[in-house]
Structures are given as C-alpha cells and as structure tokens.
Chains A and B, each alone.
Chain A
Amino acid sequence: MTQYGFFFDQSRCTGCRACSISCKEWYDIAPGPLKYMRVYQWEQGTFPNVRLGLLAVNCYHCDKPACIDACPHQAIFKEEKYGAVLIDEDRCQGERECWEACPYGAIVYASDQKGEKAHKCTMCVDRLEAKEIPICVHSCSLRALDFGPIDELRKKYGDCNTLEELPDGSLTRPSAVFKPRDEKKQLVPWNGQKVLELWQQRGPFASADLPPTFNDKEAVVNPPSGVRGRDRLVLKAKTVEELMTATRDDE
C-alpha cells in the first residue's frame, strides 16, 4: 500500500473555499453542513493587533485513524491502494463515536438528528482511480494544496505534521505535511495608539461641533466577549448551526 496524503500551505490559504465548493459540486452534495473540506476564517486579537486565522481542513487519512477504532460497527476502514480512510454508509448507524474520536473534526453530518450517517473526505478515491488528483487540490486558487504519496510530500515539503491551531500530529499520525502562515513584518514605523487618536478626530475639514468618530477607546481595543462573531476556531462543531457559522465568512 502506498500511503497518499496532502500538503497544506497555510501561508497561501485565503479561505476562498474553492476547495470546499468544488468538492461539494463534484459529489453533488446539497448546500448545508456536509462539508468534507471545512474552511475557517476567524479573527485573532483586536485593533491595533488584529490578525486573521485561515485554515482549510479535510481528512488526513491518518496512519493511526482514531475514527476506525472508535466505530462500534466497523463502518470505517483504510483501503489498501491509496491508504484512504473510507466510511461504508451501509454499516454506519450514526452513533457519532467517530466524530468524538477524530481530533480534526473530519466527520460531518447532514443534520443533528440521531442516526444521521457519518460522512467525510474520500481522498477523491474515485478520481484517483481515473488518474485525476483530488478536486480540492486541483481547484485551489493560490496552489496552497498539493497531493501525492506522503513520503514524496515529506521529501518535498518537510515533515511538519501539524500547525499551531491543529492537534498534535502524534495523536493519529495524519498523512499530511503543513507549512504555517507567514509572520508580519513592520517595514515602516507604525504606532497603533497614535492611529486610534488620529482616527477618533474627524479632521481639519470637520466643523468643531461634530461628535468624534468614537467615544470609548476601550470598546475598540477591548470589546466585551460575545459582541464579535468569529473570534475563535471551532474545529469540532457540535451542531449543524455551529458548523455553518464556523465555516462561513462575510467576504
């Protein structure tokens, strides 16, 4: 068996969801929470130190798949040609033990109902049989994804098998290599507090009696929790609503 896997370059991912969309339309999946590729965008920090977290997560067809061990009906198996981890729907009884076990949130369901069958990334095994690459990899706008025998990927891209936001690779040994996002560089001097001061004033063309742009600086730099929406990564959503909120953006 040649284990195939994915390379994900987080530094290139713009969260455009081409991967997720092309996968769904390839498999004729209805709109909704059956997203084999879950793409996340969330914000980190507040002004003046705001960053954007971006991540596209499918299934990493692990070397030590927690989902296979967890399933009480042996509905999940690792096939012998590409090392793809596949779910046999006919055996699945919707117990959700696989979802519990998978640290990456790879298992998705069409609804919150009991008995709903488990689904996940298939490694596009049907496409592989036709000598095509997974459609997520092929459609990626900035070529953040690559695919091939995992040994070759490791030779090409190194052996980093996790990212800051992802589970430690030693848990399930994902067939994946990662490159983390870029750091920011201050090429020119910039003082965020000064920016806030300037931003608060409406400037020399404004009449003296106009209210400032904002009153309370604290509310800008320290918003209370619960006011903002996507301010954390939710890799494992407990409900359909949580999943949809976590894998949608406002662009």
Chain B
Amino acid sequence: MPTGQSSTINSREAVVGKLKALHVDEEIVYSGCVINCGAGHCVHKIRRKNGKITAIEPDDHYNRGVGREDVVLNDTDLMKNHLQTRGCPMAWVFHKLIETPDRILYPLKRVEGSKRMEGKYERISWDEALDLVAKKMEEAVDNYGPYSITTAYQPSPHLERLFALWGAGIEGWGWCSKDPGRLAGHLMGGVPGWSYNESSNDTADVLLNSKLIVLWGFEPTINHFGPGHQVAYYLKMARERGTPVICIEPRYTVAAEVLADQWIPIKPGTDAAMMLAIGFLLMSKNLYDREYVQKYVDPRGFEEWRSYLLGEKDGIPKTPEWAEKICGVPAETIRGFTDLYARTKPTWLWLGWGPPRKSRGENVVRAACALQAITGNWGVAGGSVPIDMGTRPKPARMLPYGEIPKVRVPKMYRSHMWAQMVLLKEKVDSGEMSADEYKAIIGWRAPNDLPLPTPKILMGGGTWLHNTRTVINAADSTNDHIKAAHKMDFIIWMHSHMSPALWISDVILPCNDQSLEDRRIWGGGTPGYGGFVNITYVPGVVEPPGEAKPAHWIHTEIARRLGIGEVYNTYCEEGGNWWEGWEKYLRNEFDRMAEELVEQGAKMPTWEEFKKDGLINVQELNEEPFHSYRSFIDQGKPLRTKTGKIELYSYVIGDESQRGQFHLDDDGRIIDNLPNDWRDLPPIPAYQPMYRGMEHDDVKRFPLFLLSAYPRYRNHTTFWNVPLLRGDCYRHAVWMNPADAQARGVKDGDLVRIHNNKGVGVIPAYVTSRILPGMIVIHHGGNYEPDKEGVDWGCTPNIFFSDNESPVTAPRVSNLVQIEKFTGARPEA
C-alpha cells in the first residue's frame, strides 16, 4: 500500500474529522459543582447537545490555554486565586450519574405485605406519596406527641426549617468531621457553636509565609479540600520553594510521597501522646515563645498544662520516652522534631480530620492547638490554628427561603447516636436504664424538663445526593441503624439513586441531582475546607429524568400539606410556577450578597451576567493572604473566652457546677458542642487511650485495628456506581501489611472475610508495605450491599463500627476486627 503524501493527508482529514465530529453543535454552560466536599467551589465547563451532556471540561475563566499555571502567575495571582478552579478526579464524570440504572425516577411505596430490606417497591404518584407522608407525620404527632419524628444524622436545612415552623420533630446535632475541632475552637478560642468567624488561614498564607509545614494526618492529594486538589498544589509549590514538609501519619500516603520530605509513621489514635511529649520538651527546655505566651495565653491554663506535662500531678512526666511506647515514634525522633518545630517560625501545623475522629479525639485537637499557641503560631501569618482553614469573610450562604427560624425543635441526640437513641429508649421504658444515663449516652442537648423522645417516624435525605449520607453507610454501626429502623412505624427517605441502604424505607421520594439538574447560588458563607472559596452559579444543565424533583420542592409540598406552606416557602406560591418563584428567591439572595460584596469593594456582575458566567472570585478582593485572629493578636481585642485569652484550661470543664448546664450563643441557641455532661474529659489537653484501640483486651478476638480513611474517587458513597471510576481507576480493597496477609494465607487480590461483633463484610485485599502490621484500612463510603445473611459485599467500613464514643466528639472511624481468607462464592441474590 503506497504511503504517498496525498494518502496521508486523506488519512489526516478522516482521522481528525472523526475526532472533531464528537463535539459539534454543542452549547457551553458553566456551572458550579455541588457535592459534599466543602471545596472552594469548582466550576465545570459543560458541553450540552440536544439536552444531554456530552463532556465536562475544566474551568477556563483564568489563564485560558495554560497548562502549568504557576509558570505564568506571580504571588499576587496565587493569593487572589487567579486560577482555573480545576475539579477533582470525580469532576469529569458527574454526568455519568444522571442516567445510571439505579436512578430513582418515581415516588415509590413499599409493596404491601413485603418486609423492609427486601427492596420491593411500587410506583405511586407524587400526590399520593406526599399526602401519605403528611398524614403519617400528623398521625404520629397526634398519637405520640411532637417528639416522635426524627431523622438519622442532622436534619437538612429544609427539614430543620420544616420542623421548626411546624413545631414538631427532633433534631440530631453535631457534625461527623469537625466536632472535636469545634469544641477546641470554643473552649480555647471562644468561638461558639457553629460560628466560623474565626478559622485559621488560607492556602496562599501557607505558601507565602510558612517556614515549616507539618501535615499531621492530613492527606490533601486524596481528600477534596478544594477546589479540586488545589491545597495539594499549593503545598507542592511551597515545597518547591524550599519549605520543609513533614508528614505524620499511620500509612505511607501519596502526600507522604509527593508533598513531604519525610514521613513519620505513628500508631493510629495515639497522636495526642506525641503532641504531649512535644509540649513536655517545649516546657522543660523553655523552648516555647515566652513573649507570645505572656501576651496571649491565659496564665492559669499555661501553668495547668505545664504542670500536667511535667507530671507534677499524676507523677507521669510526658517525656519522649513515655510517648514512644504509646505512639511508636522513637524518642529521638520526637526530640529532633521538637527542635526543628521550636526554632522554625512560623509553622503551619495542620491536623486532618482523621486523627480527632476517634474516641478521645477531643484531646488531639486541643493538644495540637495548645502546641501552636505556646509556640506563637496562633493568629500569625504562616502559622495555624489547626481546626478549619479559612478565607476572608464572605456574605452568608443562601438560606432556605428565609431566615433560619430562631426557635427550632429540640436537639435530643448527637447526630450519629440516632440508632442508640431508638434502641436504648426501650431500656429506659423497661426500667433497665435511667433517663439521665440515656440522655448522657445519646448526647441530649435539650432542656431537661422536656419528655424523652418517642421515635416513630424516620425521615430525611435530599442533601448531598447520589448515595452520600444514606441512612446506613454514612453513620456508625450499619447493623444498629437497621435494627433501629425496623422499630420505626414509618420511614420516608428522599434520594436520587437506589441502593440497599434505602431498603429500610416505606416511601422513597426521587430527588434531582443538585449539580446538574437544579438551580442555585453556591458558595456563600462558610469557607470551603481548603480555605478557598468563591461564589458560583448552578444553572441546572439538564432536565431531571423521570419525575425527580428538587429537594426544596419536596419539602415545600410537605409543608403545604401540613398547613405551613406559605411561611415555609415565601417565594413559590401554591399552584404557581415553581421556577418563577425560585428565580425570585435566587435573585433576592444574589442582590443581598452583591450589596455586601460591593461594600467590600468588589466589582459585581449583573444577575444576568452572573447566571451566564457562573463565577465570582471573592479572593480578588484580597490584598494579602488571609489569616484569622487578627483583631486579637494585632489589635488587642479580647477573645470571647473567660479570660479573653487563649485558654489551655477550660473553665467550663474544670467547674463541676457547670456540668449539666446549657450554654447559649448570642442568638439564644444552645451551643451543642459545649458538653453539658463531659463525663471524664479533662479540662486540659491530656492523653486518654482511645476506646478499642490497638492495646484493648479485645485484640485477643479481633487482632487487627481497622481505620477508615477518606477515598479519592468518591464523596462518601457518591460515584460508587460509576465504572469510569470504580473499576477503571480504583479497587475498593482492604489495606493489609504483608505480614498480616501472609499469616492468613492471603495475597493481593484475594477476597477476605472481615468480621467483629458488629458485622461481617467481604472485600479484596490490597497487600502493601505502605501500612504497618496490626492495622488495616478500608476507605469510607463503600456501599452497603448485603447478602441474605447480612454479609456486606460492598463492605462499607461502617458495618464494623460501634456507636460508642467520647462525650462530645465525632464518631469513631475505627474498631477492632479479624480477617480471614474467604473461600467460597457469593450467595445468589
């Protein structure tokens, strides 16, 4: 076959023509990305044709046509976030979620005569579904009183508003990831409740000002502290500029390889021990920042902590020799680290949310914050308060159609203790358990004179769709939640995708996808987890399939049937055009935000321009990198602590008369994370071994410590059902050290059966030297896929967790398990 010039040109035309034909006659639509990653909100450049999405491209608002952006940018650009907000790996396949086989298209009712967890549903109309929901809610309140309707986890903003305006229902309080941090912020810095007014700093501050970076259980190449993996990008640039980076972490993570100069492995759950030893050295060798401590740290707290660290009260000096036996970090390493830490200022010591997510996690955050306080790293450029990254203040986020009602229904349980709230109630009813003990265990935060809950109806869903936070696999002890669900009279759940986790429901209401099928303004208010935030517009790119509806609409319709429709949603009239009303609401929110931003000096687009362009970069207003606590450090304005200074000693927890008391914020709302019964939580950061850690007696039955880590290619369970990710990019497997694998005759890829007293799961093994023996990792968000015996073949790690935890903190993502090689076959469905 001749290879003359002309045949090559013909080939080129044909080949290139074919490729071009994949993307002709498309419209471009920009949209913010809506998912529960707390990221600075990424912008998707979406291609649409004939009502379908044909591709998703990265944002190109800045540096169009540039790949390696930092080559063409200066530090001011980096500070002002003149960057493409590139999404994470999941960004490119959002549209693959729209038409999956498990998409819920119609309202569903459990088939008469079938049992929960059988998964037998029939289609009903919206009217029938909503009428039934309202009827059941009213019946429950009529028969059992107002505290008979509950949700698993916290209520969504919609549900919270609904309950509050209706006057019935109960709330769970507290947030899985950040509650130990919220507590530390409150006790040490006087930042109450849900306030985010004082956070830490933004990523530009780390890049431009930090002289040492310590990533303590923090994995930004995997976690989505965004936009995308922008935090990792900035940290990498910091390292390239010569800033030393140390990673302290049980596994050899990607961050340890790419971002860090050195990895220091540490036993999971023992972080506070190493931190205390660092504190011991700083105190005993006078390496702490005397001037800073004198000005900014409460002297009594400083003395109390010093005394504790030196062992003056308990006879146990928290020396590196003491710590190394607990945490597995050699004393020599702790000394060397402390030396480097003490003489390198400022240090960005950053704690991921994993280390505090253990029982006793309260101590970890407080210890980290205490170290940063006595080394003079709070509220200074390049330092950190290791709780929440932050940005310049932004206008408050879009509220659900009006102010959050000031009077809300009582918070009777810690969000994750929902199942125990139901199960233990029986023990109280039978006299086996006292009401006081019950309240302490479930995390009661309601006035003491209220009756105990009588949970009969469970409802929820409608936020962070696509399998995130489904009833079972975003909470503790999957099996306990199923047990509790079986005790409900009626269960209503709103979701976009079906999975066995929803099979406890009696009625399932189909929601549209929040990113691609709904309309909203996104990004106001709280900072993204990565200290980057902007404001984006989410226009709704495609029509939802079937009869899926926005969660706002669903709650509004329920509210109408409960007789509170007009106050619940003041924008969308009954019988009126939903989207017209919705547009009015969005427009109002935009105008309000625009006013605030213009006051700050921003150049705002018009409403129409914003809807088309989709991005307002609030960091454009930055004249310098952001760090918080400026009014305290720079202007001498006291903190809202008792002493006005950083408190290492809590005057609340140190005062027995405060036990059982409520604390209210300036709006008269209960500060839920300030424990009214803190059990044995000490008033200073201390070391208390975690419940069921690697030294617990039950290692005799269950010798492997299971740690759950956050996955890269999922947001909770979202994207589990997208084969371009699971299967193509990753395998959901249990990480095991070769010694543990070999002892069980297991090699990489073998199926293993994992069990403890809470549940059983089957999953392939990833045998790797990146993890040390005696511990294993299963990533959070594995889907719950039980066989007939309840063995979970999706292997959500939650099947192994228990609901026991410390007085305040986030639920543990750990427990003890045993593993054996699995032989046999998966039972027939």
User: Contact residues of A with B, CB < 8 Å?
Assistant: 7, 9, 11-18, 20-22, 24-28, 31-32, 35, 41, 43, 45-47, 50-52, 54, 73-74, 77, 79-80, 86-91, 122, 125-126, 129, 131-133, 135, 137-147, 156, 181-182, 184-191, 194-195, 198-199, 201-207, 210-211, 213-216, 219-220, 223-224, 226-230, 244, 248-251
Chain A contacts of B262 at CB under 8 A? 184-188, 190
Q: By the criterion CB–CB under 8 Å, are A141 and B232 in contact?
A: yes
Nearest A-chain residue to B724, judged by Cβ:
A31
> In the complex, are the beta carbons of A249 and B1 less than 8 A apart?
no
Contact A25 B88 (CB under 8 A): no
Contacts of B340 in A (CB 8 A): 187-188
Give how many B residues have a beta carbon under 8 Å from the other chain's beta carbons. Answer: 115
Within 8 A of A (CB), among B244-279: 244, 246, 252, 254, 256-258, 261-265, 267, 270
- The answer to whether A21 and B724 touch across the interface, beta carbons within 8 angstroms, is yes
The one of A143, A227, A251 in contact with B233, judged by C-beta atoms closer than 8 angstroms, is A143
Report how far A89 CA is from B19 CA in the complex, Å: 12
Interface residues in B210-249 by Cβ distance below 8 A to A read: 221-222, 228-229, 232-233, 236, 239-240, 244, 246
Contacts A21-B729, A141-B233, A198-B325 given; indicate if A210 touches B697 (C-beta within 8 A): yes
Given A88-B11, A194-B330, A204-B325, also A31-B773 (CB < 8 A): no
* Pairwise interchain contact A228-B68, C-beta atoms closer than 8 A: no
Whether A17 and B697, one on each chain, are in contact in the complex, defined by CB atoms closer than 8 angstroms, is no
Take A122-B19, A184-B261 as given contacts and tell me if A251 and B222 are in contact as well, using a CB distance cutoff of 8 Å. yes
The residue in chain B whose Cβ has the minimal distance to the Cβ of A25 is B92
| A214 and B774 in contact, given A139-B92, A188-B337, A229-B768 (Cβ under 8 angstroms) | yes
In the bound complex, CA of A190 to CA of B334 (Å): 9
Give the CA-CA distance A194 to B689 in the complex, in Å: 22
Q: Which 7 A-B pairs have the closest CB atoms?
A: A229-B748, A223-B738, A188-B336, A213-B774, A206-B695, A219-B739, A214-B773
Cβ contact of A248, chosen from B19, B252, B731, cutoff 8 A = B731
A244, B730: Cα distance in complex, Å: 9
Q: How far is the CB of B328 from chain A (nearest CB, A)?
A: 4
Q: Can you offer 10 A-B residue contacts whose CB atoms are under 8 A?
A: A22-B57, A22-B92, A25-B55, A25-B93, A25-B724, A77-B11, A156-B71, A182-B239, A187-B340, A220-B738
B647 at the interface (CB under 8 A from A): no
| The residue from A50, A79, A145, A194 contacting B770, defined by CB atoms under 8 A apart | A50
Q: Once the chains bind, are A198 and B92 in contact (CB under 8 Å)?
A: no
* Bound-state Cα–Cα, A48 to B722, Å: 36
Is B68 touching A47 in the complex (CB atoms < 8 A)?
A: no
Q: Is the CB of B14 within 8 A of A146?
A: no
B18, B330, B725, B768: most-surrounded residue (chain A CB, <10 A): B768
Query: B residues near A, CB below 8 A?
Result: 1, 3, 8-9, 11-12, 14-16, 18-20, 22-23, 54-58, 60, 65-71, 84, 86-89, 91-93, 95-96, 221-222, 228-229, 232-233, 236, 239-240, 244, 246, 252, 254, 256-258, 261-265, 267, 270, 324-326, 328-330, 332-333, 335-337, 339-340, 689, 694-697, 699-700, 703, 711-713, 723-725, 727-733, 735, 737-743, 746-749, 766-770, 772-774, 779
Within the assembled complex, what's the spacing in Å between the Cα atoms of A13 and B240?
13
C-alpha spacing A1/B14, complex, angstroms: 19
Provide the bound-state CA to CA distance between A88 and B730, in Å. Answer: 31
Q: Which residues of B contact A51 (CB under 8 A)?
A: 252, 257
Given contact pairs A24-B724, A141-B228, A203-B325, A14 touches B221 in the complex (Cβ within 8 A): yes
CB distance from B678 to the nearest CB of A (A): 21
The interface centre, meaning the residue of A54, A156, A211, A251 with most chain B CB atoms within 10 A of its CB, is A251
Contact B713 A251 (CB under 8 A): yes
**Inter-chain contacts of B11 with A (CB < 8 A):** 77, 86, 88, 91
B15 touches A16 (CB 8 A): no
* B68 proximity list for chain A (CB < 8 A): 7, 9, 143-146
Return chain B residues, CB-CB under 8 Å to A22: 56-58, 92
The DSSP consensus for interface residues of chain A is loop
Report A175 CB to chain B, min CB distance, Å: 15
- Interface class of chain B by DSSP: mixed
The answer, among B335, B712, B773, for a CB contact under 8 Å with A199, is B773
Contact of B57 among A47, A91, A138 (CB under 8 A): A138
Known: A21-B89, A184-B261, A223-B769. A129 touches B55 (CB 8 A): no
Q: How far is the CB of A65 from chain B (nearest CB, A)?
A: 13
Residues of B within 8 A of A229 (CB): 747-749, 766-768
User: Distance (Å) between the CB of A1 and the closest chain B CB?
Assistant: 12
* Separation of A141 and B223 alpha carbons in the complex (Å): 12
Q: How far is the CA of A205 from the CA of B121 in the complex (A)?
A: 51
- Contact, CB under 8 Å: B742 / A219: yes
B773 contacts A210, C-beta separation under 8 Å: no
| Cα distance, A140 to B70, chains bound together (Å) | 13
Most buried by A among B3, B15, B723, B740: B15
- B58/A139 in contact, CB under 8 A: yes
Q: Are B92 and A189 in contact (CB under 8 A)?
A: no
Q: Is the CB of A18 within 8 A of B730?
A: no
Task: Indicate whether A199 sits within 8 Å of B699 (C-beta atoms), given known contacts A16-B221, A189-B333, A214-B774.
Answer: no
**From A81, which residue of chain B is reached at the shortest CB distance?**
B12
Chain B neighbourhood of A224, CB < 8 A: 738, 742
- In the bound complex, how far is the Cα of B240 from the Cα of A185, in angstroms? 13
The reply to whether A31 and B727 form a contact with Cβ atoms under 8 Å apart is yes
Please tell me if the beta carbons of A198 and B12 are within 8 angstroms of each other in the complex.
Answer: no
- Cα(A17)–Cα(B730), bound, Å: 10
Residue of B nearest to A20 (CB): B729
Contact A43–B712 (Cβ < 8 Å): no
Q: Are A248 and B699 in contact (CB under 8 A)?
A: no
Which chain A residue has the least Cβ–Cβ distance from B84? A138
User: Complex: how many Å from CA A187 to CA B242?
Assistant: 13
- Shortest CB–CB separation between residue A36 and chain B, in angstroms? 12
* Given A88-B15, A248-B729: A223 touches B739 (CB 8 Å cut-off): yes
In the complex, are the beta carbons of B769 and A45 less than 8 A apart? Answer: yes
Contact A129 B16 (CB under 8 A): yes
Pair A220/B737 contact, Cβ less than 8 Å: yes
Best-buried of B222, B703, B729 by chain A (most CB within 10 Å):
B729
Q: Name which residue of chain A comes closest to B264, CB basis.
A: A190
CB distance from B243 to the nearest CB of A (A): 11
Query: Contact at A126–B16, with CB atoms within 8 Å?
Result: yes
> Nearest chain B CB to A181's CB is how many angstroms away?
8
Check if B19 sits within 8 Å of A17, measured CB to CB.
Answer: no
- Is B769 a contact of A47 with CB atoms below 8 Å? yes
The answer, among A15, A146, A202, for a CB contact under 8 Å with B699, is A202
Q: Is the CB of B19 within 8 A of A126?
A: yes
| In contact, A227 and B232 (Cβ under 8 angstroms) | no
- Give A251 to B712 CA distance when docked, in angstroms: 6
Decide if B333 touches A77 in the complex (CB within 8 Å). Answer: no
A25 to B8, CA, bound (A): 28
**Shortest Cβ distance from A191 into chain B, in angstroms?**
6
Q: Which residues of A contact B337 (CB under 8 A)?
A: 188
Max chain B Cβ within 10 angstroms of own Cβ: one of A11, A50, A207: A50
User: Smallest CB–CB gap between A248 and chain B, Å?
Assistant: 6
Distance of A227 Cα from B779 Cα, bound (Å): 21
Complex Cα–Cα for A199 and B324 (A): 9
B residues near A13, Cβ cutoff 8 Å? 258
Cα distance A202–B325 when bound, in Å?
Answer: 8
